[in-house]
Amino acid sequence: MSRDQASNTATAYSTGGRFLADLTRRVAIATESQNPARRPDCWRYVREMKEDFAQLGFAGEILDNPDASGGPLLIARRHEADDLPTLLVYGHGDVVAGMEGAWSNGRDPWRVDVEGDRIYGRGTADNKGQHTIVMLALEAVLATRGALGFNTVALIETSEETGSAGLHRICTEHRAKLQADWLIASDGPRLARDRVTLDGGTRGTVDFDLVCDLRAGAHHSGNWGGLIANPAVILANAIASLVSATGRINVRGILPADIPPGVRAALGRIELEADNGGPALDPWWGEPGLTQSERVFGWTALEVLAMTAGTPQQPINAIPPRASARLQIRYTVDSDPASFMPTIRAYLDGNGFGNVAVVPKSTELDWGATRLDPEHPLMRWAAASVRKTTGIEPTILPNAGGSLPNDCFADILGIPTVWVPHSYSGCSQHAPDEHLLKPLVTEGLAVMAGLFWDLGADGGPDRYRV
């Protein structure tokens, strides 16, 4: 009975075919959450997961989603002793559209297909393969030690790809069942493929429209051009007032006052590199004076996602009556999202854009920003465990650049969170040819088994409390 044995058992699940067998069954269930016709598949998924967790000694309960737009959820609990701490693990069983017919070599998105180091299939990376790694690592520790040494709660939802409908309510209403000392979960890509990444949180998002709506219809540009205002020109100028031609945000009121020193120090250890077919970085873009990792992990981004006026597919000789754009703010815990809309309204008014409306598009479903201090005992403990397994220092991100429903855990449940992603940026998540990399699966199984072994063996994160 040893840590090495648990980790060898876990990696043997990858090399021996067990991981692929579990993943194949899960990928075959077409759990598209944007497609209402696939709702029965989401039910089938949580029922099968309930059975699979039961094999590991979990008692499961399937919950219908309190939000009609969301799919069912599973809460499964494995209790060892009242005086032991509790771990929460999370995964999502739903996937984006399969995009049948668009995969190369005629691949079927609902069939796992191994080619070289790549394991193809819809949901392999996002998120079925990742929660399969977590479950098999728990199984490896159980097989080795006979017990985990902690209590475990597993939460599996089926609406993540549509914004985790109902998850805030489930976490509020079932708080007692979900209460835990820590969350350790897996989703998303590593920052660099040859090094484990530990994410302590997420950036939050706020979406809004800018709309310049001046009149009921279009008017001939020859008769009226130069006489009546053009909403497309006004909108373009309004956007240009908010953010410069080099990506500097001029509306300073939505920015954090500063980046906390501990976060700055952690980000200082990270060098961003263009990777795996991603676009080349534009070092001249964004906030001057910040490093590139500070720009994406420690700062606010203001982006235009879409904009339109007239009929771009078929322009006509007319001044359009209306122009609109969808903008998005990604922000860290260092700024207050409640101030964003009033700040932008006041800024536009002050710059002569009273005729541009600010229309909030966010709802209470939106995921807020979260962060775990890089010096938090959970992060220091997790980094030491990963180091012990891989021999390499993990990349520590106080928060990822993207978003997850992590505020449900960090804010509603109030527990510290660490995410250990097992995918990489070239995985074609949300596109045809989604895949996982075999070496990352094998290493991921060892890393997770190491974490779960240490959690039950060495007093866990409490040993790192200062």
Site residues for Zn ion, 352-391, by CB under 5 A, read: none
| Residue 157 interacting with Zn ion (CB under 5 A) | no
β-bridge pairing 204-213 and 357-360: antiparallel
Q: Which two structure tokens, joined as six digits, stand for 461?
A: 């994160």
**Residue 324 and residue 54: Cα distance in Å, rounded?**
51
**Residue 31 and residue 99: Cα distance in Å, rounded?**
13
129/450 with CB nearer Zn ion:
129
CB 71 → Zn ion: shortest distance, Å? 14
CB 188 → Zn ion: shortest distance, Å? 8
Peptide bond into 127 cis (omega under 30): yes
Using CB under 5 A, which of the segments 33-41, 125-133, 202-210, 287-295 binds Zn ion? Answer: 125-133
What's the one-letter identity of residue 139?
E
| Residue 443 interacting with Zn ion (CB under 5 A) | no
Q: Which of 28, 65, 16, 305 is nearest to 174 (CA)?
A: 65
What's the one-letter identity of residue 191?
L
CB 189 → Zn ion: shortest distance, Å? 11
CB 233 → Zn ion: shortest distance, Å? 37
**Residue 381 and residue 393: Cα distance in Å, rounded?**
12
**Residue 77 and residue 154: Cα distance in Å, rounded?**
6
Using CB under 5 A, which of the segments 24-32, 98-106, 118-126, 135-143 binds Zn ion? Answer: 118-126
310/421 with CB nearer Zn ion:
421
Coil/strand/helix, residue 143: helix
Q: Which two structure tokens, joined as six digits, stand for 412?
A: 């509603």
DSSP-derived secondary structure for 20-54:
HHHHHHHHTS--BSS-GGGHHHHHHHHHHHHHHHH
Please work out the total of residues on this chain that contact Zn ion, with binding judged by CB under 5 A.
Answer: 1
β-bridge pairing 322-331 and 301-309: antiparallel
242/441 with CB nearer Zn ion:
441
160/294 with CB nearer Zn ion:
160
Using CB under 5 A, which of the segments 102-110, 121-129, 227-235, 328-336 binds Zn ion? Answer: 121-129
CB 276 → Zn ion: shortest distance, Å? 17
CB 282 → Zn ion: shortest distance, Å? 25
CB 128 → Zn ion: shortest distance, Å? 11
Beta-bridge mates of residue 95: 32
Over the Cα atoms of the chain, what is R_g? 24
Using CB under 5 A, which of the segments 31-39, 72-80, 124-132, 437-445 binds Zn ion? Answer: 124-132
> Shortest Cβ contact with Zn ion: which residue?
126
Beta-bridge mates of residue 120: 113, 435
| Residue 126 interacting with Zn ion (CB under 5 A) | yes
DSSP-derived secondary structure for 162-194:
GT-TTHHHHHHHTHHHH--SEEEE--SB-SSTT
50/92 with CB nearer Zn ion:
92
140/400 with CB nearer Zn ion:
400
**Residue 419 and residue 379: Cα distance in Å, rounded?**
10
**Residue 396 and residue 142: Cα distance in Å, rounded?**
28
Q: Which two structure tokens, joined as six digits, stand for 99?
A: 């995009």
402/459 with CB nearer Zn ion:
402
How many helices (H) and strands (E) the chain has is answered by 14, 17
126/294 with CB nearer Zn ion:
126
**Residue 135 and residue 149: Cα distance in Å, rounded?**
16
Using CB under 5 A, which of the segments 123-131, 190-198, 225-233, 255-263 binds Zn ion? Answer: 123-131
CB 95 → Zn ion: shortest distance, Å? 7
Q: How far from chain centre, in Å, is Cα 141?
A: 27
Using CB under 5 A, which of the segments 120-128, 253-261, 326-334, 417-425 binds Zn ion? Answer: 120-128
32/126 with CB nearer Zn ion:
126
201/421 with CB nearer Zn ion:
421
CB 171 → Zn ion: shortest distance, Å? 19
Q: What is the contact surface with Zn ion in residues (CB under 5 A)? A: 126
